[in-house]
Each structure stands twice: as structure tokens, then as C-alpha cells.
Amino acid sequence: FPSDLLGTVKVSDGTLYRGASIMKTELADKPVIVAVEAAAAGAVNANLCGPGTLDPAKVAGKVVVCDRGVVDRTAKSQEVQDKGGVGMILVNLTNSSEDADNHVLPTVHVNAPKSLELKSKLAGNTALTVSLVKGDLTGDPQAPAPQVAGFSSRGPSLASGGDLLKPDISAPGVNVLAGVSTIGNDGDQFGFMSGTSMAAPHIAGFGALVLSKQPTWSPAMVKSAMMTTAYPLVKADGTPNTDPFQGGAGHIDALRVLDPGLLYDSGVKDWLAFLNGQGLDTGAPQAGSIAARDLNLPSIALGSLVGEVTVKRQLTAVVPGKYKPEVAMPGVDVHVEPQVLNFAKAGQTRDVTVTIRNVSAPVGEFTTGTLTWKGPRTVSSPIAVRPVDAQIVPSFSFSSATGTGSGTMDLVSGSDAPIAVAMEGLAPVSRTAISKTPGAYAATNDAHNALLRVTVPEGATFARLGIQAERNDVDWDMVVYAPNGTGGLVATQVATAAASEFLDLQSPRAGTYYLVANLYSTPDNGPANAAAQAVSFAGDAGNLTVNPNPIVAPNGTATAATLNWTGLQDGTYASRLHLGENGISTWVNVQVGAGTVASPAGAPVMAPVDGIPAG
């Protein structure tokens, strides 16, 4: 931070604490109180200084220590002022950003762990006073930069099975002086802002500058130049932070971005092929199909590495010459062909294959590294791979005329060691047919929404509530209201672009849940059908076996196991199988009989209701 964005908390015992601040006036030797000790009668979470949570009799004339979180930061200082306080110390409970917000009264925002030390010192010690002064009086060294902000989202991405590495790159996004709307900002035209909404315009501006110098470059070329020329972020101790799931390829480097040496390019056809490969209807089958891992990006990711996997890339020369690959990837064998790329002139392209196999990297977690081309320029790309016990589709569906039957489960082994299979279920599934037309969400039963009450029994270790669409070109959304343990309900929205929606609950609270299914859209705005579903598990039901178990096959080998079920009544059943000990699972769905039974005996009770109880 520059000195004019810093303030200091001076405690009367002589200790000093630095934080972010743009206060216009200073405070000297004021009494101080921790917010939880100044709670209004009946207030909940008064430590957060939310509106109406502080007692004026306890706050008047004092500086209040407020915890960061949940409530808007400037709303906290407003609450302090409204109750007669004269200043605020905002404390991070965990390491995160310090924000120079435009507070209504003198404020210093202190980061952890110093913030925790300060809060502990002031709690209950009425003999201490504090002064809030401008600038940094501590003499402590500035924090190393650039660091990833504590609030910044991290990878890995769940999209495409983890075969796309996110984030891509980092840019300044904390305490950026930016234009703001005068509405809601007391007429101010500028303010210090933080978040992706600040980092993104930095990247967009860099992109515009690059295109002003290289107007023929594609968007993918611009992105490639930014990523392969980025420099490492740092950790809190100043050492390089090379974790691509925190900062992507690194921090944007304005001095190198116009001289990347090599570029990874992709165009509209490539992205249409990628979308086709994801099973989406692009209307352009002529574009073909590309696996996510083979999309020509300046990064490589494999969310499920079994056996040996080959990834394709193509490089375009900006600066011609000879380039040789260097790979830094602990525990993983990465072989690049060809071993030398020779470009005679700018604009030439060369195809590359990268073959990846696990040697000793931990199974079930990502290992990261880099692929660097060294030649006239240095061109670096992050790599992230996750070796897994097995590669298997998300679900299998079977049917049998009677309660005894069998099916085949195909998979690819990811381990030379035996792979044990553990089971939850088979358990009976409740199903309620619904038919709606697209329209606005409401927690009721009407033309657009279905509201159902679902009972999750005692002893359930897992539950799944969901909406199974009848066809894939529609969009159902869902909200689940779950018991919070104090007589109220907490809502969870599940609203993706997928046709169907599901919410998985690990160790669910027993009790009454409310499920709202909303039909968001259909291609012709006409009606659509679906089934609301509920299932709960309490371990292995003893009605499903896997043969063989454990599964034994060499790493990278396709194999199969037989599933046998018995003792089932007519209806729908579900099981969740866990392969190995590192998070690989698949669902097994079994339909017994003609499919006319909505809920076999023992399924969670599901019934339509007219409304959700108040409170």
C-alpha cells in the first residue's frame, strides 16, 4: 500500500497496529469496546456490527472493534456512527485483504494475525484507550506483493471434469481507485474498489493495448501472450507462489506481453468443437469435436489421470528460432514430442503432443508444475494433473422386470493396486411427477412452480434431492429449504444451465425439507415434464454386490465389474459406489418393474404442500 492508504491503531500500552485507511480525521485517546460486548438486547452476531445490533448506551463516544464478514463493511461503520460511536477498528478473522473503504467515521482495517492479537488485547480491558492516526507508524516492512487476495476464488474448476485449468491469470484487484455510481455512494464519483470487477478491467485494458500494437492477433493469441509472459505471485513470506489454482499463470506483465515468442491460438471453430465435445447442441456439427484437454490453451489440466494420457497443442511463432521443452512436474512423467521446435519465420505453426503418466504423485489430489519452451524467448505454461484410482462415468442406469437382476459397470483402472468398492444403498427413491410452464420463481404450487415437502429420516448419512427433467433442452431450477436446527429454515438455490438439478447433502439434518421446482425455460416457452426425487442412505443396504470386489486391473486398463441386486420391490432405487479411497464415485440407478410405482416402501416421504411455514 502507498502510505496515504494506511492508518495506525495506537493502543495506550504503546503497541501499534497497521491497517488500511483513508480516514480524513484522526482520533486521540478514545475508549474502545469490542462489538460483542456492546450488543443490543436480543441482537444476533453483534460482533459483525450489522444494522440494529449495537447498544447506544455501550457505544457512545467509543471506538468499536467489528469483525469482518457477512455485512457490508461500510454498513458496519454506519451502525457504529448511528449508535454514537466515534470510530471503528475492522478486524479480519483470517488472512484476507485490507480495504480502504470510504467509511463515515475514522476507521482502520487490520489484517490477521495482528488483528486477532489486537482484538484479544482490547476485549474486556476497559483501561486501554486507542488513537486512530493517518499513515504507518509501525515501521514494519510492507507485505510482499503481488499476493492473491484472501477473498479471490481458487481452482480447480469443476467444469469439463477438471480438464480446464482455472483461473487463467491474475491482475490488480484490491483497493483500486475507480469510478463508482453516485447513487448509493453519497454522490461520490470515485472510490476504492476490490474484487474481480477491478482485476477484469485491468486485463481488458491490457488486451486493448496489445491489440493496438498487434491488431491481427486473435483473442486467444492475446490471452496466450498474457499467460505465457506472466510472472509468479508471492506468498505472505515473500517466496514465489506457483500454485496455478490460486493465481493461474501468474501476474500480468505489461513489459513482456508484446514479446511472447510463441502463441497458443484458437478460433471460433475450435470453441464450437469444444462445446460439441461437451455434449452441447451448437448447431455446428461440421466443427467436429475436441476434448477439453485438447483445446489449444496456454495451460494443461487433467482432472482424472489414469494410465497414460496424451494431450495435443499447437504453437505459432512470433519470434522464430529453435525452442526446446523443459518440464518441472514432481512425481509425474511428462514427455513432449517433438523435442525441438524449429521455426524458420514468424507465423509458422508446429503441432506438439504431451504424454503424461503418474509415477509417484499422490493419488486423489492435484500435482502442479510447468511446461516451458526455451529458445529466443521463454514461454511458460502451468500444468495440473490429478491421478485417480479409476475413471468412470458419473452414473449407470439399469432395469429389471423383477427385484433380482444384474448389470455391467465399465471403468478404466488408475491403479496397479486392487481397487475396493464401497456401497451406499441401494435405497428406494421417492418420485413425484410434475408438469409446468416457464415462469417466475415462487415458493408455492402454481403454473410455473412445484412445492413439495420431503422428510429426511433420522440416521441418514447422505441425502439427494433433485429434479430429473424428461428432456435435455429445458431448464429446471430448484431451491431447497432445509431445517437449521433452531426451528427455522435455510434456503439453498441450485440453478445451473443444465436441464436437471440435484442437491447432495452429506450428514443431513433429520427433519422436514421443502423443495421448490421452477421451470425456468423451454425452447418454445411451452410446458415440460420432470420428476421431483428424494433418496437417503444409511450405509450399505446389503442388496447390491460388485463382482469382483476389489477390482484388479493394471493402471490405464479398461475393465468391468458386474453389479447384482436382489430383494427389491417395484419402483426406483439408487446407490452411490465409492471406488478406492480418494473421492471417485458413481451412481447406480435401478428401475424395477414397469415404472408405475412412485415411491417404494422405505423411500423418503414426499408430498405437495401449499406453502412454506413462516420463520
Asked if 186 and 78 count as a contact pair (C-beta separation under 8 A), the reply is no
Range(s) for CATH 2.60.120.380 in the chain? 431-523
CATH says 390-427+539-592 is which class? mainly beta
Question: CA end-to-end span of the chain, whole Å?
Answer: 45
% of residues, the chain, pLDDT over 70: 99
Grid cell at residue 498: 443444465
pLDDT at 181: 86
Mean pLDDT of 200-212: 95
Sign of the Cα pseudo-torsion (254, 256, 258, 263, in order): negative
Q: What is the per-residue pLDDT across 437-449, written as a single tens digit (0 to 9) for each?
A: 999 999 999 999 9
What's 3-134's CATH class? Answer: alpha beta
Per-residue pLDDT at 338:
98
Show the cell assigned to 37. 460486548
Q: How many helices (H) and strands (E) in the chain? A: 7, 37
Predicted local distance difference test score (pLDDT) of residue 153 = 86
Give the angle subtended at the CA of 327 by the CAs of 323 and 330, to the nearest 5°: 175
Cell numbers at 80, concatenated: 457504529
Residues of the chain with CATH 2.60.40.2310: 150-176+194-388, 390-427+539-592
Q: Please give the mean pLDDT across all residues of the chain.
A: 94
Give the dihedral of Cα atoms 32, 37, 43, 44; nearest 10 deg.
Answer: 110
The C-alpha atoms of residue 324 and residue 340 are separated, in whole angstroms, by: 5
pLDDT at site 174: 87
Q: What is the rounded distance in angstroms from the CA atom of residue 69 to the CA atom of residue 271?
A: 39
Q: What is the pLDDT of residues 306-340, one digit of tens each?
A: 999 999 999 999 999 999 999 999 999 999 999 99
State the burial class of residue 402 (Cβ atoms within 10 Å of its Cβ: 0-12, 13-18, 19+). Answer: exposed
Residue 604 has pLDDT above 70, yes or no: yes
**What is the pLDDT at residue 151?**
83
User: Looking at the chain, how many residues does it have?
Assistant: 615
Contact 438, 448 (CB under 8 A): yes
Q: Can you tell me the mean pLDDT for 518-532?
A: 96
Cβ-contact 457, 441 below 8 angstroms: no
Mean of the pLDDT values across residues 66-84? Answer: 95
Q: Tell me: pLDDT of 595 over 80.
A: no
Contact 162, 300 (CB under 8 A): no
Nine-digit cell at 416? 496397479
- Using DSSP's 3-state secondary structure scheme, residue 309 falls into strand
Scan for cell 476485549, then name that residue.
123
Per-position DSSP letters for 199-265, written without gaps between them: HHHHHHHHHHHHHHH-TT--HHHHHHHHHHT-B-EE-TTSSEE--HHHHTT-B--TTTTT--SEEE-
Residue 194 has pLDDT above 90, yes or no: no
Buried residues in 84-93 as b, exposed as e (16+ CB within 10 A): bbbbbbbbbe
Q: What DSSP character marks residue 612?
A: P
What percent of the chain has a predicted confidence (pLDDT) above 90? 86
Q: Which CATH architecture group holds 150-176+194-388?
A: Sandwich (2.60)
Q: Which residue has the higher pLDDT, 59 or 194?
A: 59
Residue 57 has pLDDT above 90, yes or no: yes
Q: In this model, does residue 3 exceed pLDDT 70?
A: no
CA distance readout (Å), 177 to 101, 309, 369: 10, 46, 35
pLDDT higher than 80, residue 124: no
Identify the pLDDT of residue 485.
Answer: 87
Place of cell 425452447: 523
Return phi, psi of residue 96, to 5°: -155, -170
Query: Which residues, 6+ apart, have CB-to-CB distance to 43 below 8 Å?
Result: 52, 53, 54, 55
Distance of CA 209 to the CA centre of its chain: 30
d(CA 220, CA 265): 5
Query: ∠ at Cα 227 (225, 229), nearest 5°?
Result: 65
**CATH for 431-523, among 3.40.50.150, 3.40.50.740, 2.60.120.380, 3.40.50.800?**
2.60.120.380
Is residue 2 over pLDDT 80? no
Confidence of residue 142 (pLDDT cuts 50, 70, 90): confident
β-bridge mates for residue 326, sequence order: 372
Contact 193, 216 (CB under 8 A): no
Averaged pLDDT, 529-550: 97
Quote the pLDDT of residue 63. Answer: 98
Specify the pLDDT at position 615.
Answer: 58
Summarize pLDDT for 246-273 with one digit per residue, the tens.
Answer: 999 999 999 999 999 999 999 999 999 9
What is the pTM (predicted TM-score) of this model? 0.83
3-class state of residue 26 by DSSP: coil
Cβ neighbours of 151 (radius 10 Å): 14
Mean pLDDT along residues 81-94: 97
